[in-house]
Structures are given as C-alpha cells and as structure tokens.
C-alpha cells in the first residue's frame, strides 16, 4: 500500500532541483549554503543526506571536480610556476608644431607578461602531510612511533 499524506521536502524541493544542487556544489557552495539557496533548513538537508544514500552520493560526486581542481592548484603552488598575465599600459602622444603643443592623445595598450610565481612552502607542507602521512606529520611523537615501527619491521625481515 502506498504511503499517504503529504510529501516531504526531499520530494517537493530537493528532488526537482538536483541539477541546480550539483552545480552549486561544483561551484564550491557549502551544504548549508545550498540548503539555504534551495529553501530547506540545514537540519532537513542533513537528515535527507543521511537517510538517502543516492542523495549523499550525488553530493560527494559533485565535490570531486572542485577537490581535484584544488589539489592541482596546490600542487602547482608547491612547485612554483610561470603564468602569462594581461597588463595595460597608458601611452601618451603629444603633437607639436614649431614648439607649440597642438594636441595630446592618450591610449591604452594591452600586452602579455610572463610572471613567475615562486613555490609556496605552506602548500608543499600541506600536500606532504596529506599525501605522505607516513613520512610527514605535525606530531613528532607520531613520527617517532612510526620510525620505531619501521625499524622493528626491518629487524624482523633480516
């Protein structure tokens, strides 16, 4: 027998706007901001996210592209890179006739300049701490324990 009564917010508000929700998440909006934009309370949003696996998966999949973009950007920042930027230059042309100023013309010309962005130490540290957790950590005690584990493994292999 079909469930009777009124439909919940997932069926009336969220489900019809799934494409809009995916786009907002891809643009970097938080769950709370998306819920506010589509007109549901954050509590309702969290409830449906927890109870409906397909909705939770949609949110997670929508975040994969921005997360990959951030990872790529952090990687570039950690290494340093060159970038071409468009700049503007104001040029002034003054015309004279027998030493007398006749007219002045100003114009803006655009040009490309290649600039070097030096490596970011903080981006490098962040990536190493997250991509190579076994070697880099904020916790010296944790690193010491890992070194001892490694030594113990090496001793047992011999």
Q: Report how far Cα 30 is from the mean position of its chain's Cα atoms.
A: 12
Q: Are 75 and 127 in contact (CB under 8 A)?
A: yes
User: What count of other Cβ atoms lies within 10 Å of the Cβ of residue 41?
Assistant: 12
Q: Are 42 and 31 in contact (CB under 8 A)?
A: yes
92-105 per-residue burial string, b: 16 or more CB within 10 A, e: under 16: eeeeeeeeeeeeee
- Return per-residue pLDDT of the chain as tens, 158 residues: 445 667 787 888 888 999 999 999 988 899 999 999 999 999 999 999 999 999 999 999 999 988 898 999 999 999 999 999 999 999 999 999 988 999 999 999 999 999 999 999 999 988 888 888 777 777 777 767 777 888 888 888 76
Q: Are 126 and 149 in contact (CB under 8 A)?
A: no
Residue 93 pairs with which residues in a beta bridge? 105
Distance CA 74, CA 76 (A): 5
């Amino acid at each position: 027998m079909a469930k009777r009564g009124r439909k919940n917010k997932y069926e009336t508000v969220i489900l019809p706007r799934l494409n809009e929700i995916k786009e907002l998440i891809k643009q970097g909006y938080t769950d709370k901001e998306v819920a506010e934009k589509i007109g549901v309370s954050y509590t309702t949003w969290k409830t449906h996210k927890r109870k409906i696996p397909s909705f939770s998966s949609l949110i997670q999949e929508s975040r994969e592209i921005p997360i990959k973009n951030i990872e790529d950007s952090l990687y570039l920042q950690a290494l340093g890179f060159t970038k071409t930027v468009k700049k503007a230059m104001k040029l002034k042309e003054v015309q004279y006739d027998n030493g007398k100023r006749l007219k002045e013309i100003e114009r803006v010309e655009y040009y490309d300049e290649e600039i070097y962005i030096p490596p970011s130490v903080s981006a490098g540290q962040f990536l190493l701490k997250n991509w190579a957790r076994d070697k880099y950590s904020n916790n010296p005690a944790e690193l010491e324990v890992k070194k001892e584990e490694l030594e113990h493994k090496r001793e047992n292999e011999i």
